[in-house]
Amino acid sequence: MAELPLSPGALAVALAAALNRAGLQTPPERTAGLARALVLMPPVDRDGLYWVCRVSLVNSRAELPVFDAVFAAVVDGRLELADTRRDAVALPPPRGAATGDRAHAAFADVDPRELAAVRDLVRRLVLASPDRMSRPAPGRGLDVRRTVAAAQRRGHDVERLLFSQRRTRQHPLVLLCDVSGSMEPYARAFLPLLQGAVADASAEAFVFATGIARLTRQLTSRDPDSALARAAAVVTGWSGRTRLAASIEEFVTVFGRRGMAREAVVVVLSDGWTTEPPEELAAAMARLRRLAHRIVWVDPRASAPDVAPPSGGMAAALPFCDAVVSGCDLAALEEVVEAVGAARR
């Protein structure tokens, strides 16, 4: 497919309108999310377009018959988009309409057959930390080495002083992903995001549960299943309980103080559940805050309607975060991309 049948915004609106007429209610925020996803990850063929639309708009497997029929009608040109009649195309009756916005829980609901397609879409997201200016050399920026070298090339005394130039470079990027039991449905979808960050942004990647493990080397593999297997082999407590404070403390002590976290954008992907006292997490986050340029917390359960206000561990971590965003589905990950690239507040 060389190009979309419509512009991203027009296609999202047309598809949502047709779904609504067919009895499958599509909230405006999902329509907007689809439009953003189509701009962020332009599909290269019909299958790619199908999966972007499906992941963005479908809330349960019961909605698939209606969605598939409407998608085919809109994309293949069998539906006159200006026609607002409900019988503009023969559609199967909906087998259970959406009963509310369930936090767009696509990652938690995808089955094993769909996971490969979701991973492929997530892998296309590009994380990039903001730029920073290098510090000038001591002595008001005088570059002694370059000044002397220039004089030697000319074979005489120094004619002029050369000063060091401030260069633009990106802040280091570090991702810490929770792989404990409560995060397992999301961690398997987040792994391609970590892979892409390692490959495209030279990021450092870690996973943690009862302990923390560096996975930068393991995630150089382009095969998500292979990376998962290699990760599981080195992670203690995969799908087990969470020691969030101890894991962050271990990262700061073992890796952060060596310079890995210094002036870095640190992304923590976790729902905040932990078995430790809140004050321990607050102490660990305070140490991380002193090193990092910016801390972004990705909580995939944050937007769920039945989630109570932050308490315990998550409440202890919030004061040290520059941004808290949801990563519950594909559209929500765009917020993660924006938060990582934003300037420090």
Tell me which CATH code domain 171-341 carries.
3.40.50.410
Quick check: 87 pLDDT over 60?
no
Tell me the mean pLDDT in the region 95-119.
54
CA distance 252 to 246: 10
Between 111 and 22, whose confidence is greater?
22
Whether pLDDT at 292 is above 90: yes
Transcribe 284-320 into DSSP letters.
Answer: HHHHHHHH-SEEEEE-TTTT-TTPPSP-HHHHHHGGG
Is it the case that residue 102 has pLDDT exceeding 70?
Answer: no
- List pLDDT tens digits, range 44-58: 888 888 888 888 888
Q: How much is the mean pLDDT over the chain?
A: 76
Cβ neighbours of residue 229 closer than 8 Å, sequence gap 6 or more: none
In the chain, % of residues over pLDDT 90: 17
More confident residue, 121 or 266: 266
pLDDT band at 100 (very low <50, low <70, confident <90, very high): very low
For the ranges 21-30, 168-177, 227-236, 302-311, the lowest mean pLDDT is seen at 302-311
Question: Which of 123, 260, 279, 271 lies closest to 208, judged by CA?
Answer: 271
Residue spans of the domains in the chain: they are 8-100, 134-168, 171-341
Question: Is 4's pLDDT higher than 80?
Answer: no
- Helical H segments across the chain, by residue range: 8-21, 28-40, 46-57, 64-75, 106-109, 112-123, 144-154, 184-201, 224-234, 244-250, 278-291, 312-317, 333-341
Residue 81, pLDDT above cutoff 80: no
Hey, is 150 helix, strand or coil?
helix
> Helices 112-123 & 46-57, crossing angle to 10 degrees?
100
Q: Which residue has the higher pLDDT, 267 or 162?
A: 267
pLDDT at 321 over 90: yes
What's the full length of the chain, in residues? Answer: 345
Residue 1, pLDDT above cutoff 80: no
Query: Residue 58 belongs to what H/E stretch?
Result: none
- What local confidence, expressed as pLDDT, does residue 98 receive? 35
Task: Assess whether pLDDT exceeds 70 at residue 155.
Answer: no
Distance CA 330, CA 161 (A): 53
Per DSSP, the chain holds a count of helices (H) and strands (E) of: 13, 8
Sign, CA torsion 23/27/28/29:
negative
> Which tokens is 116 given?
């490969």
